[in-house]
């Protein structure tokens, strides 16, 4: 996914746009660009790299004019090059666009436009919007009808902002986020409230299939047929403004360190929602849980926790896979949809499929104003605050805590959450930076890491492998302890590094046996446990706690290990290569 932004107001646009792009950089960060209008001329600058670096090299924020657009890219079509970076101007140069999403029919449209004499400079699907808009504008001579004609021809998922040489701004939303920031004498158009939260906390969340025009200081909202739409201005909670690293070197380390507090906030202020969710679950024959990436790993935890403590059978399905098994999903089922951003295209598509067969949707989400929240029957907030680091950390433990809260509601007192113990355990582990950094240094050059866990610790092993992949670029794999001898043991030799997740609960002795078998093949072992063992080459101690605390406390050492291994490898922990915070394209 990319981030798009537009500004129309009485201040110089470029510095505000560059600031907004910096705050949204976690959405995509392989290239950046800005275009502004002044004296009916469009100026444009763009380049490959992060916002700060490109701005330093080519001074994006010095472009003149009080109207502008900007973009940070996560490449889908065409390599990471200056030409493929946005904004894209049309052949006439009289308009420029920035786009987030995918235009499915871009090749066909491109051929038609080339037949009309248009020339394309880039490999992107997005440039088609610029030339198609120019063609339509030249035929209807006004922005409103040009947009209507253009959205009629575009197929796919998109949000784009277009700037015309006369200073008009227009933007359209079709299954990609678009928010208007309403200032005193100004407007922002943005993919995320972070784009303008420093300037205003008044926002309008544009509905799907609508577009806006800003001209002569006036904002219009219209649907794709041109009918005028009235929409509320809502106030955004200022907590979203808190995207500063403070004294931390990286957002990822800051967010890992916030967990002793964020675990208390999970599901806060959503008591009724948790109550309603528990009733839905109790009265539903079929319950499905879905998510992508780390959120899917939280779904696997939910499946085990609901089965073990609430005796409720559920099915966990990867969001992008749900459409391949939707035929077997019973109508009137309940879907628990887990997502930090609430904007991942795969989960929105899964929800769409389930709603078509009359399923109820309970969402566990961090952004309460996200598309997923707006599509849900019940919204339960994770409340862990903005998460900027692309690899999910605090959001994962908040997802587990939210699942615990629902289970507590379902178990009428037979399942209790020990918040104090969980928070203190995390704080204890966070004191152990030096040892964990030392192990990360030892481990950083290996080519493969295997993470082993049984029962509830198997999904934690999968999540751990994901963190290692995302942050260190080392191939890592989560293995169910009992499966070791049915194949993976063949991989174990003196080059292998194995992380054993082994708290002293019902899985302890079997997992220790697996560790012994691995040790016998010469592999290096990191043991994460509250019990010391000489089978481990490295022992990372976690506090001795109740069973329900272990899945959270044992996750922290892996988050830190992945973070420090990334540092040791000079990788950027906040903006790992090729990834984005949430992927809004399927």
User: Catalytic residue numbers?
Assistant: 2, 581
List the x/- string, 292-311, binding to ligand BG6 by CB under 6 A: xxxx----------------
For residue 546, the minimal CB distance to ligand BG6 (Å) is 27
CB atoms within 10 A of CB 356: 10
Q: Is 559 in the site for ligand BG6 (CB under 6 A)?
A: no
Q: Is 262 in the site for ligand BG6 (CB under 6 A)?
A: no
Q: How big is the site for ligand BG6, counted in residues (CB under 6 A)?
A: 17
| CB closer to ligand BG6 out of 411 and 571 | 571
| CB closer to ligand BG6 out of 340 and 545 | 340
Q: Is 391 in the site for ligand BG6 (CB under 6 A)?
A: yes
Part of the chain binding ligand BG6 (CB under 6 A), chosen from 36-44, 302-310, 390-398, 472-480: 390-398
Part of the chain binding ligand BG6 (CB under 6 A), chosen from 120-128, 162-170, 240-248, 575-583: 575-583
β-bridge partners, 123: none
Are 146 and 213 in contact by the 8 Å Cβ rule? The answer is no
Q: Is 402 in the site for ligand BG6 (CB under 6 A)?
A: no
Part of the chain binding ligand BG6 (CB under 6 A), chosen from 2-10, 287-295, 535-543, 566-574: 287-295
**Minimal CB distance residue for ligand BG6:** 293
Q: Is 582 in the site for ligand BG6 (CB under 6 A)?
A: yes
| CB closer to ligand BG6 out of 13 and 465 | 465
Taking the CA atoms of the chain, what radius of gyration do you get in angstroms? 25
For residue 405, the minimal CB distance to ligand BG6 (Å) is 18
For residue 205, the minimal CB distance to ligand BG6 (Å) is 17
Tokens coding 452: 């082993």
What gap in Å lies between CA 385 and CA 41, rounded to an integer? 41
| CB closer to ligand BG6 out of 310 and 466 | 466
Tokens coding 147: 């947009």
- Helices and strands of the chain, counted as H and E runs: 19, 24
Which of 260, 580, 584, 585: binder of ligand BG6 (CB under 6 A)?
Answer: 580
Residues in the chain, total: 586
H/E stretch holding 106: helix 106-115
Are 17 and 7 in contact by the 8 Å Cβ rule? The answer is yes
Quick one: the chain helix, strand, coil %, rounded to 5? 40, 25, 35
Q: What is the DSSP letter of 533?
A: -
Are 262 and 398 in contact by the 8 Å Cβ rule? The answer is yes
Which of 229, 241, 571, 579: binder of ligand BG6 (CB under 6 A)?
Answer: 579
Q: Is 210 in the site for ligand BG6 (CB under 6 A)?
A: no
For residue 572, the minimal CB distance to ligand BG6 (Å) is 14
Tokens 């152990």 belong to 432
Contacts of 69 (CB under 8 A, 6+ apart): 4, 5, 6, 7, 17, 34, 35, 36, 87, 96, 97, 98, 161, 162, 163, 169
List the x/- string, 322-361, binding to ligand BG6 by CB under 6 A: -----------------xxx--x--x--------------
Beta strands 287-291 and 334-339 are: parallel
For residue 21, the minimal CB distance to ligand BG6 (Å) is 19
| CB closer to ligand BG6 out of 163 and 391 | 391
Write b or e for each residue in 457-477: b if 16 or more Cβ atoms lie within 10 A of its Cβ, otherwise e: bbbbbbbbbbbbbbbbebebb
Q: Is 583 in the site for ligand BG6 (CB under 6 A)?
A: yes
Q: Which residues are near ligand BG6 by CB under 6 A?
A: 292-295, 339-341, 344, 347, 390-392, 579-583
């Amino acid at each position: 996914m990319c981030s798009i932004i537009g500004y129309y107001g009485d201040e110089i646009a470029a510095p505000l746009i560059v600031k907004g792009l910096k705050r949204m950089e976690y959405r995509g960060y392989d290239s950046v660009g800005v275009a502004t209008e002044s004296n009916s001329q469009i100026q444009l600058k763009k380049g490959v790299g992060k916002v700060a670096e490109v701005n330093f090299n080519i001074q994006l924020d010095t472009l003149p004019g009080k109207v502008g657009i900007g973009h940070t890219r996560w490449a889908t079509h065409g390599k990471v090059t200056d030409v493929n970076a946005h904004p894209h101007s049309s052949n006439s140069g009289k308009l420029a666009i920035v786009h987030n999403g995918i235009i499915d029919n871009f090749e066909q449209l491109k051929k038609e436009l080339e037949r009309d004499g248009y020339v394309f400079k880039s490999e992107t699907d997005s440039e088609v919007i610029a030339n198609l808009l120019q063609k339509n504008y030249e035929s209807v001579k006004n922005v409103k009808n040009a947009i209507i004609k253009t959205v009629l021809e575009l197929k796919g998922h998109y949000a784009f902002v277009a700037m015309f040489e006369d200073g008009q701004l227009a933007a359209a939303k079709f299954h990609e986020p678009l928010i208007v920031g309403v200032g005193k004498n100004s407007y922002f158009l943005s993919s995320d409230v972070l784009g303008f939260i420093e300037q205003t906390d008044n926002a309008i969340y544009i509905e799907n299939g609508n577009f806006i025009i800003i001209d002569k200081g006036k904002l219009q909202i219209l649907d794709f047929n041109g009918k005028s739409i009235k929409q509320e201005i809502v106030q955004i909670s200022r907590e979203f403004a808190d995207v500063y690293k403070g004294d931390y070197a990286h957002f990822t380390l800051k967010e890992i360190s916030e967990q002793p507090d964020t675990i208390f906030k999970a599901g806060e202020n959503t008591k009724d929602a948790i109550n309603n969710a528990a009733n839905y679950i109790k009265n539903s024959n079929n319950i499905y849980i879905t998510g992508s990436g780390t959120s899917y790993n939280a779904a696997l935890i939910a499946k085990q926790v609901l089965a073990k403590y609430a005796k409720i059978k559920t099915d966990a399905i990867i969001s992008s896979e749900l459409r391949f098994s939707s035929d077997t999903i019973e109508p009137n089922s309940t879907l628990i949809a887990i997502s930090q951003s609430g904007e991942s295209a795969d989960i929105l598509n899964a929800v769409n499929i389930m709603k078509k067969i009359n399923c109820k949707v309970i969402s566990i989400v961090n952004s309460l104003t996200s598309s997923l929240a707006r599509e849900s029957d019940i919204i339960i907030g994770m409340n862990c605050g903005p998460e900027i680091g692309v690899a999910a950390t605090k959001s994962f433990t908040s997802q587990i805590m939210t699942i615990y809260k629902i289970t507590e509601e379902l178990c009428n007192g037979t399942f209790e959450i020990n918040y104090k113990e969980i928070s203190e355990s995390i704080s204890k582990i966070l004191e152990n930076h030096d040892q964990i950094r030392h192990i990360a240094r030892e481990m950083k050059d290996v080519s493969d890491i295997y993470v082993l866990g049984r029962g509830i610790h198997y999904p934690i092993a999968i999540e751990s492998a994901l963190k290692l992949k995302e942050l260190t670029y080392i191939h890592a794999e989560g293995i169910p302890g009992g499966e070791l001898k049915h194949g993976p043991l063949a991989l174990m030799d003196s080059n292998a590094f194995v992380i054993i997740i082994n708290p002293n609960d019902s899985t302890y002795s079997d997992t220790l046996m697996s560790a012994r078998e691995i040790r016998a093949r010469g592999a290096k072992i990191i043991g994460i446990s509250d019990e010391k063992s000489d089978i481990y080459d490295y022992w990372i101690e976690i506090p001795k706690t109740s069973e329900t605390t272990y899945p959270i406390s044992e996750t922290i050492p892996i988050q830190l290990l992945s973070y420090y291994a990334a540092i040791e490898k000079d990788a950027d922990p906040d903006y790992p290569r090729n990834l984005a915070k949430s992927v809004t394209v399927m």
